[in-house]
Structure 1
Amino acid sequence: MKNPATWRPSKYVFKNGKLSASNDTNELGIASRMAATIAAEYYQNNIEIYAKGALLDLGCGKSPLYEIYSKHILSSTSADWDGTPHKNDNIDVKCDLTKKLPFDDATYDTVILSDVLEHLPNPENLFSEIYRILKIDGTLLLNTPFLYGIHEVPHDYYRYTQFALNRFANISKFKIVKIEATGGSPEIFIDLFAKHLQYIPFVGKISAIFIQRFLLAFRKTKIGKTISQKTAERFPFGYFMVIQK
């Protein structure tokens, strides 16, 4: 990462050993805190297992995962396209993710692709490029939404089922380690409810915060886990994926 001493937390914050959504409304919308917290949990759990060596944070934005992955790697490279809406003075490489990536073959041990896939018009090309630049046994970690609102207009192109993600991996010759739905009907309902509720005058924002906190607690209970897991197959909130070269 360029100028790591100037890096500051953005979308995620690290407190008491746990990565979670930021409360800073300049970095994350109030009604997106539940989704961000769920993504943060997946990344923390899997980065601790799979991140190693030289890491490329691709489509990095403000590199919100830097604080967690920097503890497990030898070096990191932050890359994003020149038109990113997320101003980041720590970006090492500006590149177009729809074209050949400006990195040599077998350069990286780990690649992070966080909340990026849905914003690419030709994702199959990127999977092939990531395969090329990963070392043998290198790992790609990514998340992408499914039943989720349009965002970062006009660069929001697709939503992918697990079958599409499997296909991308197989075409590029990746070995699939895991593909997990990040939630089911409860997460979808609360996310949509919070995003509408926040616009009610006076009580909307605090109510949106409360119901997201309730859902995050509920999904950890036995009944909450059961409902999320049973509905996630047909009604996935999003997906988290780990694949290896």
Structure 2
Amino acid sequence: MSSYVVFRRGKFSVDQGQRPATLLTNEIILRKLIQFLHENFKKGSGRLLDVGSGSLPYFPVYRNYFSSTYSVDVPWSPHDITSVDVTASILQLPFRDGFFDCVLLTEVLEHIPEPVQALEECRRVLKENGKLFLTTPLLVPLHEIPHDYFRYTPFALRYMGQRVGLRVESIAPKGGFWAFALLFMQFPWVRLWQWLAGRLRLPLLHPYNPVVYLTIILPQLFYIALWSRRMQHGGGEGDEESTVTLGYVTVLSRS
């Protein structure tokens, strides 16, 4: 198991060394997940399924909330799946109906060619009133090519959820215009450092590199601090109709 989520100074955070280019997005997902678990589950009971779990980055966060957890991913996953419990497709999950209290689907749905069928399977394995925590990208580069099929608006997420019998409880943007603008401006620099690291065979895209820290990591940390402050005071950057955002965090339940 290789998690980029670490526990330091009494709280969970994303390891800057493992996710320097996408620190902002991963931190928002992490904090939304922590809030979701705290608001919906008591520690030490129920079952959770982490679909498309890869290297199980969020396992340290959710393991104490459930009496048992299961992870599943495809055998051709580009991530380290040595710690995954079951290798299977989301289109045919090897679990009985109504088995789980919670399903996690983080940054996976865009890689599924049949997203409605995938959501139907998530609904099938959920208990009545069970929760689905779903995160999806919108304005981000292609990744995990060629298995990158879709980008979802909040209207598509709501439509697909209702179509398969899932009640949409909330849809929240992963940052707004300034989050997108920041990562868009940093993208050429990230690619440059990735290229140099490959040519020189050195880990240059790392917080130990002062130029990388000052130009790539520190601006993201500044945005995250502002975003967190707004969240704590009941505000937010945009709403589910935001026209410029990195993606969405959606909470659905089986009705």
Q: Using structure 1 for the length normalisation, give the TM-score.
A: 0.87
In 2, the alpha carbon distance for the partners of 1:46 and 1:118 equals 22
The corresponding residue for 1:4 is: none
CA distance in 2, matches of 1:77, 1:221: 34
| Conserved? CA contact 2:173–2:240, under 8 Å | no
Unaligned runs of 5+ in 2: 197-208
Structure 2 SS opposite 1:110: strand
Whole-angstrom CA distance in 2 between matches of 1:185 and 1:231: 13
Match of 1:96 in 2: 89
Q: 2:30: which partner in 1?
A: 40
Aligned counterpart in structure 2 of residue 151 of structure 1, from 143, 150, 164: 143
Q: What amino acid sits opposite 2:51 in the alignment?
A: L
**Is structure 2 residue 173 aligned with structure 1 residue 181?**
yes
Does residue 102 of structure 2 align to residue 139 of structure 1?
no
Partner of 2:128, secondary structure, is: strand
Distance 1:107 1:230, change over 3 A: closer
Displacement of 1:220 in angstroms is 4.1
Asked if 1:211 is matched to 2:219, the reply is: yes
Partner secondary structure for residue 175 of structure 2: coil
Question: How far is the alpha carbon of 1:144 from its aligned partner?
Answer: 0.9
Report the residue type matching 2:137 in the other structure.
P
Structure 1 residues 128 and 23: alpha-carbon distance in aligned structure 2, compared to 1, 3 A threshold = same
Contact 1:195 1:208 (8 Å CA) reproduced: no
| SS of structure 1 residue aligned to 2:53 | coil
Alignment: residue pair count: 233
Stretches of structure 1 that go unaligned for 5 or more consecutive residues are: 1-6
1:211 partner letter: P
2:7 aligns with 14
Q: Kindly tell me: are residues 189 and 231 of structure 1, through their superposed partners in 2, closer, same or farther at Cα, counting changes over 3 Å?
A: farther
Coordinate RMSD, CA, aligned: 2.3
Shift of 1:24: 2.9
- The secondary structure found in structure 2 opposite 1:236 is coil
| Cα distance change on mapping 1:172 and 1:204 into 2, 3 Å | same
Native 8 Å contact 1:131 1:174 kept in 2: yes
Q: Is the 8 A contact 2:171 2:240 kept in 1?
A: no
Task: Tell me which residue corresponds to 2:201.
Answer: none
State the percentage of identical aligned residues.
29
For residues 61-80 of structure 1, the aligned pairs below 5 Å read 61-80=54-73
Verify the 8 A CA contact 1:12 1:21 in the aligned structure 2: yes
Deviation at 1:205, TM superposition (A): 2.0
Deviation of 1:183 (Å): 1.1
